[in-house]
Every structure is written in C-alpha cells, then in structure tokens.
Structure 1
Amino acid sequence: MRLLSPEGPLPAFYHYYPGVPAVVGARLGERVNFCPAVWNTGLSADPPLFGVALSPKRFTHGLLLETRRFSASFHPHAQAALVQRLGSVSGREVDKGQAPHFLGRTGVPVLEGAYAAYELELLEVHTFGDHDLFVGKVVAVWEEEGLLDEKGRPKPGLSLLYYGKGLYGRPAEEAFAPWRHPTRTLSARGPRQTGGRGFGLEAGRVRRKRA
C-alpha cells in the first residue's frame, strides 16, 4: 500500500464503496420527489432507527425538513438506470413524481420495484461537514414477497450496488458463513483462506465472535 497525505479534501473518497443506495422519497402537497442516497445506515434496532445523509444543496433536503417524514427504498440491480436517472437530475427542474410510485401508510411516496422499503418519521438532524444526517424512526416496513429470506435479507445477487461516479454493479450470487467454510472463497482467483494467526482465523479453527 502507498501512503496518501492529502491537504484539504481527499482526491478520492470511494475507498469504502460499493454501497447499496437508499432511494429517499418525500412529498409536500402534490409535489413528489425521489433522491438516491448511498450514504445510509441503520442506527438502532430498538427502536428501529435509520439514517440518510443528504447535502443541503439537494431539493429533497428541504422537503424532509419541512414534512418531517420520508421513505427509504432498496432496489434490485435491474433498476440501475432508474436510480441513476433519479440521482442525476434535480427535483427543482424535473417532476420526479412521474416515476412509478405508491403512497405508503403515512402518505410518503415509495418508489415502485423495491424489494424492501421503510416509512420513517424524522426524529433528528445532525450536521457533519458538508452533509446533514437525517435520523428517522421506522414506522412501517414494506417487503416484496419472494425476494427476501426469512430474516428479511435480500437474496444473493439481487441488490443494486453503487461504486461512485455513475458506476453500478451487483453482488455475488452466493453467500456463505466463513466460520463454517474457512477455506471457501467467492472467486477462484482469490486466496483459499484469509489468515491472521493469533486471532483464531487460521483454517480449521475459525470461531464466531462478536467484534
């Protein structure tokens, strides 16, 4: 590895990508808007809290502040073109409400085609640098039958992944538990196992631990 010592903003900030975009939906009166947010994360299981980071420059940012409720939907890779389109134009200039959607239980718009979606009530907003983190409480959950496992996880190979700068992909079409298969890899070209002597990661003695 080489050491980068940037002064000011990083020349690139995609090292932790890819990520699964959450398409944020909001409605003010008859105005409906959608905005993909790849900076999203679960924050708490009890109560169920979910966060999305949006720039104040985004039209959706103002809608969330005013309406205090929003949706977050997760889409299959087959909808990459739609998600990209929603993220490449502004709701100030284009009526994104023309995208196929339905109104959820709380009245928020939910983009059609998702394998799962949340309806959220806004609890808090925190500023971190050039983005604001919108913390929402999940008040309703939508799931598409047949696309999730018994724990609500999307089936392997289904999710849309965003690599940054308009590049999209899909995950591997298999998933496995490394503590059960310590020498198995997703790529035949990769190493047969990951090592870490002294940490219980040698082949044959992989242990399941909490981090």
Structure 2
Amino acid sequence: MPVVLVACQGRDGPPNLLTVVWTGIVCSRPPLLAIAVTPERHSHALLLETGRFSVNLPTTALVRAVDLCGVTSGRDVDKWQRTGLTPAAGTTGGPPLVAECPVNLECRVARRLELGSHTLFIAEIEQVHVAAALIDGKGRLALERAGLLSWCHGHYYALGRQLGHFGFSVRRKPRRPRRASASGQRREG
C-alpha cells in the first residue's frame, strides 16, 4: 500500500502532519482521492473543520519521519519541528506541502463517509506539484525515480522495479516476418 504524509490545519493553530496508509485515487474525472482517518486522531477534527489537506508522497529517506507522524499526536507534539520536515506553501491557499516530498497534491474534501472505525474523506485534487527530477525527457512523470515508500502489515518497504505496464498482459506479440522458402513460396517463420 502507499504511505503518505497528510498535512492539515484548523482555522486557528498550527498545521499538523498525519501518516495515512489507507489512501488511493478513486476517480479520474473529476480527479478524486480518498484517505481513511479514525475519529480519535487529532487530524480528524482539523479535516472536519476546514475540509482542506495536502497529500505528500514520501521517499525512503523519510521513513523515520513518516513513522513518527503515525505514532505521535499533533495534540502533544509539533511534528514539523520534531521531524525537521519543511512546510512549503501550495498554490490553493490550503495547508502546507511537505517540501522534502517529491510529489504533493492539494486537496479539498468533496464527500465524507462514516464507515465504522474510520471516516473516508473523498477529496478533489485541486493541484499537483512534482519535483523536476521526476519528469523525463518527453515530459512524462517518471515516478520510479522517486524511491517512494510503501507499507504492508505494519512494515515499511521501498518500492521495487517495474514489472509491467497497464495492458501488457493482453498485448499481442508482434508476428515474425514471413520468410521465402527455397521454392519461392512464403511460409510461416
């Protein structure tokens, strides 16, 4: 699963950081993502108050900061100060971005679903910021260069090598060209 740092902020008071592992893109038109947060978390109240947050994709170099943001409460700790992460201004007037993360998404809550143990915040992606180093020579996102962090069953992992691409399993292999036989007739190669 991806692991992200969510920055959120109430109307008054400092911004907070929250580690979220239950997250993902849920729609392409309009561009929506979702994060699941338990009501007990300090950030839950901030999300309800303003409906704004940023999703920041951390690299493996940030694993200690990501873990700390997941096991401490913003009620008790200034996570920005404790982790040394740098808040950076976005362009939509929402909570800060995490400067050390190579991909940042500025979001506004569109819907909220109470699911039981968690609230699912479905948010429109208002703006995307990508580090220049992740754009290839053709202007495409080369996310494999980022060294992103992932999480599974309580453990952090580095993402590995690419194993395929969308649709590779059904792509037909190119046919080999036909060769001429000794008699001049073409035959299958």
**Matched-pair contact (CA < 8 Å) for 1:156–1:172:** no
* One-letter amino acid matched to 1:160: L
- Report the 3-state secondary structure (helix = DSSP H, G, I; strand = E; otherwise coil) of the residue aligned with 2:77: coil
Question: Following the alignment from structure 2 to structure 1, what is the Cα–Cα distance between the partners of residues 159 and 108?
Answer: 30
**Greater fraction of residues in helix:** 2
| Change beyond 3 A, Cα 1:51–1:178 | closer
* One-letter amino acid matched to 1:133: L
The TM-score, its normalising length taken from structure 2, stands at: 0.79
Q: Which has the larger radius of gyration?
A: 2
Kindly report which structure 2 residues correspond to 1:44-193, keeping only aligned pairs within 5 A, or say none: 44-98=27-81, 99-105=85-91, 106-149=93-136, 150-155=139-144, 158-165=147-154, 167-177=155-165
Q: Give 1:133 shift.
A: 0.4
| Corresponding position of 2:9 | 27
| Change beyond 3 A, Cα 1:116–1:207 | same
Question: Following the alignment from structure 1 to structure 2, what is the Cα–Cα distance between the partners of residues 123 and 136?
Answer: 5
**Matched-pair contact (CA < 8 Å) for 2:18–2:43:** yes
| Change beyond 3 A, Cα 1:174–1:46 | closer
| Corresponding position of 1:192 | none
Unpaired runs of 5+ in structure 2?
173-189
The TM-score, its normalising length taken from structure 1, stands at: 0.71
User: How many residue pairs were aligned?
Assistant: 165
Please list the CA deviations of residues 20-59 of structure 1 after superposition, one character each: whole Å capped at 9, or x if unmatched: 1121111223411010110001111111111100000111
Q: Which runs of 4+ in 1 moved over 6 A?
A: none
Please list the CA deviations of residues 179-211 of structure 1 after superposition, one character each: whole Å capped at 9, or x if unmatched: 76xxxxxxxxxxxxxxxxxxxxxxxxx5249xx
Alignment root-mean-square deviation, CA: 2.2
